[in-house]
Amino acid sequence: MRNLQKSKKYPISRWTLARKKIVWAYIFLAIPIVFFAYIRIYPTLFAFQMSLHDYNPLAVEQPFVGFQNYEKVFEELGEEKSKTKAAFQNTINYVVLGVPIQLCLALFIALMLNEIRFMSTVYRILFFLPFVTSTIAIAWVFRMLYQPRFGLFNVVLQLLSLPQQPFLRSPQQALPSVLALVVWQGMGFAIIIFLAGLKQIPRTYYEAAEVDGASRWHTFRYITFPLLNPSIVYLLVLQTISFLRMFAPVVAMTQLGRGGPLDSTLTVVLHVYNEAFGSYNMGFASSLTVVLFALILGVTIIQLSITSRRIN
């Protein structure tokens, strides 16, 4: 009531400059919020709505089926040779293998780059270039490198008198072959983040450790690693989400972009794409999307609760 009386007593023309700045700030913030809600929140809610229907864009009617699509998802997760189970298993394998390898390599390279002074900028650019290069272009280059007989990797193996490998044509080697590309391409981003974190650590800590006679390992364990915790948490969450949503490398590197051979490289996002735009089974594809969203949200919350802590 008091605020209403004040607004009548002080019209807009008599507002102070500070109050006008606050009002305009909220007005400008409303624009991106509405845009974000339209391109993010609305499609998410619409996907959930589609998952409750036998949704087919080519059909006239979209009958309501309730949670039958979700029941089908969990039924296929229990089957031995279903595409849904293979997609989720492969996606988890990508995360469990790819994230630790990528972050460990990135941290090691960042520590090395942080020590050099000569041509340090050139090295950083070289490591960062793959991250800003087209994923499809890099995937096609790697696909040629993996080719039998004339592919560079097999040529090198032949020169070393080692047996040639099928790589992308083998159900056992296809997933590690795709994973190598993803780890290499995304490593440059992690290196830059780690370098930024290393630059924020005060040099006085290292000088004090050197005076106390601490070894390099003890300096890394008790100074560098704990103070890099914000960077590690950020990259762990971000890269985990990136691996869970993997799509383009698998499409570009596998035969016909179907996640073969024998679904050994199939991911959940690619399975959603195949179901939605290959079989026009939008309802089932939407239920897969919602389950993946719940998985990403759960993993993110668990990671933040375990890894986040304050540095005293």
Give the global pTM: 0.85
* CA dist., res. 214 & res. 63, Å (int): 69
Q: What is the dihedral of CA 260, 266, 269, 273, to 10 degrees?
A: 30
What confidence score (pLDDT) does residue 311 get?
Answer: 43
What confidence score (pLDDT) does residue 11 get?
Answer: 61
* CA dist., res. 300 & res. 179, Å (int): 21
What confidence score (pLDDT) does residue 308 get?
Answer: 66
What confidence score (pLDDT) does residue 248 get?
Answer: 93
What confidence score (pLDDT) does residue 43 get?
Answer: 84
Residues of the chain with pLDDT under 70: 1-13, 308-312
Q: Pick from 266, 268, 309, 264: which is nearest to 286 by CA?
A: 268
For the chain, give percent helix, strand, coil, nearest 5: 75, 0, 25
What confidence score (pLDDT) does residue 104 get?
Answer: 95
Helix (H, G, I), strand (E, B) or coil at 169: helix
Q: Pick from 312, 282, 302, 307: which is nearest to 54 by CA?
A: 282
Q: Pick from 277, 270, 242: which is nearest to 255 by CA?
A: 270
Check if the beta carbon of residue 267 is closer than 8 Å to that of residue 91: yes
